[in-house]
Structures are given as C-alpha cells and as structure tokens.
Amino acid sequence: MTDAVLKSRLDKRPIQEPTAWDRLKVNRNWLGVWFMVPAAAFLILFLAYPLGLGVWLSFTDAKIGRTGEFVGLENYEWLMDDSTFLLSVFNTILYTTVASVIKFAVGLYLALLLNERLPFKAILRAVVLIPFIVPTVLSAIAFWWIFDPQFSIISWSLKKAGLISTNIDFLGDIWNARWSVIFANIWRGVPFVAITLLAGLQTVSPSLYEAATIDGATTWQRFRYITYPLLTPIIAVVMTFSVLFTFTDFQLIWVMTRGGPVNATHLMATLSYQRAIIAGSLGEGAAISTAMIPFLLAAIMVSWFGLQRRKWQQGGDND
Amino acid sequence: MTDFTRRALVKGGTAFGAASALTGPALLDWAKAWAQAAPWKPEKGAKLSMLRWKYFVQAEDDAFVKMIAAFTKATGVNVDISRESYEDVQPKASVAANTGTGPDLFWGLYSLPHLFPQKCMDVTDVADYLGKKYGGWVQSAQQYGKAGNKWICIPICYSGNMLNYRVAASTKAGFSKFPDTTAAFLEYAKAMKAQGTPGGFPLGHASGDGNGWVHWALWSHGGNVVDKSDKVVINSPETVKALEYAKELTAAMIPGVGSWNDASNNKAFLGNEISWTDNGISIYVAAGRDATKKDIAEDMNHSFWPVGPVGKPTELHLMYPVLGMTYTKFPQATKALMAFMLEAENFNPWIESAQGYLTHCLNTYDANPVWTADPKRLPYREAAKRSLTAGGLGSVGEKAATAIADFVVLDMFANYCLGREDTKGAIAVAERQLKRIYR
C-alpha cells in the first residue's frame, strides 16, 4: 500500500537533473569563490582597473580632454632619450636610496633607544611621532621657509654666529637642493620606521636576553644574534613600505621646489604630474608613471626574497 | 593741493568710484532692467556653478559676490561659486572637460580654454555684443579669446606683471628714471648690485613671474619659440643672444633666484632684501596695507618692461578668461552671466576694487578711476595692450599652453643661467621638447 502511494508520487514528479547553476550554488569549493567576489570586485574596480588604464594611456598620445590614438611604444622611445626624464630617474633613485638608508639607520637607533628604560618614556614616544602626524604639506611649507634663500633661519643663525657671511643657497644650488629635500623626507619618514620597529622590538621575549646575558653575551652580540634576526620580518615590511613611500613621494618636492632648480629635484612622480596634468600630455605622463612600476616591483622583490625568506619563518631550522 | 599723499588719492578715488557705482537697490533695479533687455534669457529653473581663481584682494571678491547676488536677484538663477588657487583651476577644469561633468563655468588662466577648445561653448555672440558696446577688445584678448573665428571664452581681465623697484636706491645708483632699454637695464642691475641693493627675477618653476621674465628676455632679443606657422625656431642666434643677456643679468641678481617661486620675490622685496623684481601690483598693495612697511610703499614704483633690440614692447601678462563648458544644461544662463560680469555697471566697481591687480581688456575701461587715483598704478593699465600672447608669433592654442606649462623656455634659461648647460646644450634640450609639443 505505502509502496504504491510512494510510487505514484514519484511517478508524478519527473526526476530533474541538477543544472550546473544548482551545483554552483551549493558546491563547497565554489563557496569560497562567492565569498571572494566582493573583495575581488573592490580590488579590480579601484586598483586593477586604474592601473590598467594608466598603462593603456601610456601607449596612447592622449591629451587632457581628448582620448588619444594608440601609438605603441612611442612615448617610451621619446622618454628614453629625454634628458629631463633620465635626470628624474637618477634623482628618484638617489632620493630613495639615501633617504631610505638613513631613515632605517636613524629609525632603528631611535627604536632601540626608546625600548630602553627611559624617564618619561611614554611622552618621548609620542614626541617622536610628531613629524609623522603633521600633514606633509604643512611640514613641507615649514621646510620651504627653513631653506629660503633670503630668510632661512639656518643662514640667519650661522650669520649671527659669524660662521658665514652670505646666505646659504639651499634650494637654488643643484646639490644643496637635493640634500635639502632628502633631509626633509628623512625628518618626515623616521617616526614611521622608529615606531614600527619599536613595536617589533617589544615582541622579542626578554627571556632570550636573560639567557644570553647569563651565557656572557656582549651588548653587540645580543643585538646581532637575538634582536636583529627576530626583527627581520618587521624590517622587511617596514623598509618595503618606506621605500615605496619615498619612491612615490610628491608633496614635499612639489611644495618646496616644484622640481627645480633646473629639474635637479624632479622625481618621476612630480615630472609625471607636471607633464600629464599641468601641461596636459596624459599619455606621456602615464608613461612616466608606468616606468616607475618596474622599480617598485624590484624594491618589493629585494625585500621579499632578501629579508623574508628565512627557513625558520616557515617552521624549519635556520641553519 | 600740492601735498597730495597717496592715501588721500586712494581715498578720493574710492569716494569717486562709490559715487559713480550703483549700490543697493539701484543696482538691483538696473540688474532687473538688464535681465529684461539682455539677448540671453536664462532657462527656467537654471542653476549655475562656477569655479574661479582665488582672489588676491578680499575687496575684489566682495565686489564679485555682490555682483553675483544682483545677478541671482534679477534673473532668478542661483550661482554657486567655488574658489581654487589660480594654478589649481586648470587641472580641475581639465578633469571636468575629460569626464563631461563639473562646474558650468571655469574662470582660470590664459591657456585654459585652448587646452580643450572643443569642450568650450561658442560665445561669439557675447564677445561681439561686449566688444561693440565697450570700445572693442584689445589685440591680445582677441587672440586669446578665439579658436579660429569662434570665440571660445570671454577674456575678463589681465593681471599685469611689471617691474617693481625702489626709488631711492635706483636714484642713488644714478638712475633717476627707470631704464627703458634692455642694455640700460643690465647696467642698472649691475649698478644696483654694486651698491648693495640687488634685485632678482625667479628662475625656479614660477609660472607667473618666472615665465614672464624669460619670455620677455627671449622676445626682446628677437628670439622666438615658433614662427607664424608654428614651426619651431628656437635654435637661432637671437636665442643665443637672449640667453647671454639673461646670464649677465642673473649674475647681477641676488643669489638664490634658482629656487624662487612666485611668492619668493614678494617676500624678499617686502623684507628689504631686494630692490627690483617683476611682479603684479601685490607687493605695493601689501606694503601699503602694512603699517610697518609703509616706507616701502612710499619708496617704490612700477615700470614697463625695458624694450630690447627688437624695438617694441615684448611683455607677457596673465589673462583670466571665463569659459562655459559644452556639457552645461543652461547655456543661455551661462552666456547671460558672462555678459553681465562685463557690463559697465558691474565691471567698473569690480575692477576698481581690485586696486590695480587686474587690467581690463575692453578699451572703454581705460577711463576707470582706479588708474588715475594713484599714479603708481598707471603702468598696469597698459598690461592688456602691451601683452603678447603665450604662443609668441605662433598660435595661442594647446601647444603654446603646453610649452609654457611644462616650463620649456624657463628651464632653457635656468639651464644656461645657472651654469648647468652651455647655450648649445640648453637650446638643444628645449628644441627637442618643443618639436614634440609642436609636431
């Protein structure tokens, strides 16, 4: 009896093969994809698309207000031979290298210092952060005054002290200008490095230092064989960011020198802005920006493979 | 009335201006009548937004706001005004032109409409109406205003860039009259430096004062970026002469001009560090307003640029055109506003409130009392008439704008004057860049 009822019911309802869509809806492996969709859409819309558009623009002769025609590598061929562009590449590499190295050295020193037992430790740590808190444009304007050819406080003090007779031409002389903007960048970038490294230092277990001290390790040995190796992952991250920020710096230069004197402080970012937005040659400006990508990738690779691929970080021995 | 002080003159001028200008209800009545008679009838429910350069003098902006309020009352069209530093109007307008959305009107710098001429409304009827009514447009304004035979913007005003100098120091150096030739000017600069009162022109990326003086140096010696047909002719013996002249002049300036931007020479002049430079009237106005700097205002004067071997004025002043975007939903309201701004009842009090910062481009306004109230302002009255256009002999379009915005000529002079390159090298760099811009 029951069999008959069941049978008749089954007969009435035709057996449906699940469609591909039905499977996708419930498939466990596909579930992950569904969860990823919002994030992926966000990344594609706001990161991949503008980047792709920038690269595409660099292959066109687009001007502001006019979509360009595809011109292949013409922009790059032109730039390869453009002395201003080559100068800006040199400036950028010099700026990034010098500023990053010094920022790292000073930042690490400050971090080690702040990690010691100091009076007013909390206040000191807050004070160190100040250059980082001040909006970049404001600090750039302050430096612009400090380095002013006529009203520089440095020139004024040295003159009053009788050490020099004429003002120092900070931003008008080619090399002076380069060192001046590098100095401003270092001043601004040190707190980021120092505070992040300090955070890293505080994760190092004190018992390691105690054990080392009992074994008779010197201060240098404790730094070299405990602090430094345990700090490398943080160093890798901090320096990657620091290099990226420095390489793409714009505001400091734009406010202080506009790339002058005679383009001696033009970075690739400022030159790209000048050519693309101010002068209207979008294609050429985009080519300059795109030319930054290989440098940035190289910087990331160096820190990634050079500093972060330690076996112990992946659970192995570090021998 | 021999003991006329400058103050008394300014006061007198203001009183006269106020008497001749319409105020309050009278202005509104006039505006209403104007709206009735004007050839452009704003669309129903029209609303406009305008992005303009940020004022140099508060009084100018106040007068402008009053004018816009009268326009709104008379026509019912609300105008939303936003202000940006004059260098930032261009990128914003460019983006708006690119995306087809943004303010209906942009009021920016000389090259602006020519960066995207096809996105600018045709305003030939407005320009013709104003030109006929007010004594015609000056030559340079016509060149700036038109793309082909079509007006693509309305030139509102110029801001003159003239020579500013200290009178006592110049007299002491043996120049009771400011030199009017380039050769005499070089002697002047040397004499001024020798007696410890040097001056200077900016060689940094100063879009106004920097571009102003290097183009004067180039043109006054017969050099040109391009010829009439836009062929690049920068590589010429005249350019070499201009460069050599500029280098000698730079040697007679105060050290540090390589880093100067548009604000640096103002600071240095007001700080008594320099005794001559090129600038708008802002140094004079700032000095007159500051009680501690009154002696500077009393002791300074302005002059035209010295004339070079070519024998005629070769000056470059900044023009401020207002343009309407083709994407606007209210073209009639846009045109009405443009015309309204330049009607005598509005324009006279407005240009007067600018205290000489701004110079008209319509001939009738020569009679405005702002120029006679204080004789030290007089050179600025001629700015629009004496100005050449950004492209020199060539077209005033996109290419000229790009060349100026990319500082090609300025960098050429800086390269040579600051000793980075010889004349050949400096010219070669500029020529290569110009050939690409003008291809």
A258:B268 CB<8 A:
no
pLDDT for position B22 = 63
Give the chain B residue nearest A84 (alpha carbons): B429
Summarize the confidence of residues B148-167 as an average pLDDT. 93
Q: Where are the domains of chain B?
A: 6-159+328-378, 162-316+406-437
Give the chain B residue nearest A145 (alpha carbons): B264
What is the ipTM score, two decimals? 0.76
Give the chain B residue nearest A256 (alpha carbons): B259
pLDDT for position B208 = 86
Inform me whether the pLDDT recorded for B5 exceeds 60. no
pLDDT for position A21 = 82
Topology of B6-159+328-378 in CATH? D-Maltodextrin-Binding Protein; domain 2 (3.40.190)
B322 band by pLDDT with thresholds 50, 70 and 90: very high
pLDDT for position A234 = 87
A150:B398 CB<8 A:
no
B238 band by pLDDT with thresholds 50, 70 and 90: very high
The DSSP code sequence of B256-274 is TGGG--TTHHHHHHHTTS-
Pairing mode of beta strands B358-360, B105-107: unpaired
User: pLDDT of B163-183, one tens digit each?
Assistant: 999 999 999 999 999 999 999
Positive or negative, the Cα torsion across A162, A168, A170, A171?
Answer: positive
A150:B273 CB<8 A:
yes
Summarize the confidence of residues B228-252 as an average pLDDT. 95
Q: Which residues of A sit within 8 Å Cβ distance of B?
A: 63-66, 78, 81-84, 147-151, 166-167, 169-174, 177, 257-263, 274-275, 277-281
B8 band by pLDDT with thresholds 50, 70 and 90: very low
Domains B6-159+328-378 and B162-316+406-437 share a fold: yes
Inform me whether the pLDDT recorded for B3 exceeds 60. no
Within 8 A of B271 by CB-CB distance, chain A residues are 150-151
User: pLDDT of B11-22, one tens digit each?
Assistant: 444 434 443 456
CA distance B287 to B292: 8
Nearest-CA distance B251 → chain A (Å): 14
A–B interface: beta-carbon pairs under 8 A: 122
Nearest-CA distance B97 → chain A (Å): 5
Q: Which of A31-35, B289-293, B341-345 has the lowest mean pLDDT?
A: A31-35
Nearest-CA distance A147 → chain B (Å): 10
pLDDT for position B65 = 93
| Contact of B81 with B50, CB cutoff 8 Å | yes
pLDDT for position B128 = 94
% chain B with pLDDT above 70: 95
B204:A172 CB<8 A:
yes
Give the chain B residue nearest A66 (alpha carbons): B98
Burial of residue A153, with CB atoms counted within 10 A of its CB: 0-12 exposed, 13-18 middle, 19 or more buried = exposed
> Model pTM?
0.82
- List the one residue out of B195, B88, B160 whose CA is nearest residue B387: B160
- List the one residue out of B105, B125, B154, B127 whose CA is nearest residue B39: B125
Which residue ranges form the domains of chain A, and what is each CATH number? 22-53 (no CATH), 74-310 (1.10.3720.10)
pLDDT for position B380 = 94
Topology of B162-316+406-437 in CATH? D-Maltodextrin-Binding Protein; domain 2 (3.40.190)
Whether cis (ω within 30° of 0) applies to the bond prior to A261 is yes
Q: Which residues of A87-119 are buried (b: 16+ CB within 10 A; e: fewer)?
A: bbbebbeebbebbbebbbebbbebbbebbeeee
Q: Which residue from B255, B405, B433 is facing A167, i.e. has the nearest CB?
A: B255
Location of structure tokens 């029209």: B46
Rounded mean pLDDT for each run of 10 residues along chain A, 319 residues in total? 57 71 79 88 93 93 79 91 92 95 94 86 86 88 90 89 86 90 94 92 90 90 89 87 91 88 92 88 92 90 69 51
Give the contacts of B188 (CB within 8 A, at least 6 positions apart): B170, B173, B175, B178, B179, B276
Q: What does the block give as tokens for B137?
A: 């447009």
Location of structure tokens 């050839």: B39
B94 band by pLDDT with thresholds 50, 70 and 90: confident
Burial of residue B35, with CB atoms counted within 10 A of its CB: 0-12 exposed, 13-18 middle, 19 or more buried = buried
Higher per-residue pLDDT: B38 or B233? B233
User: pLDDT of B71-92, one tens digit each?
Assistant: 998 899 999 999 988 777 887 8
Nearest-CA distance B101 → chain A (Å): 12
- List the one residue out of B250, B248, B239, B229 whose CA is nearest residue B310: B239
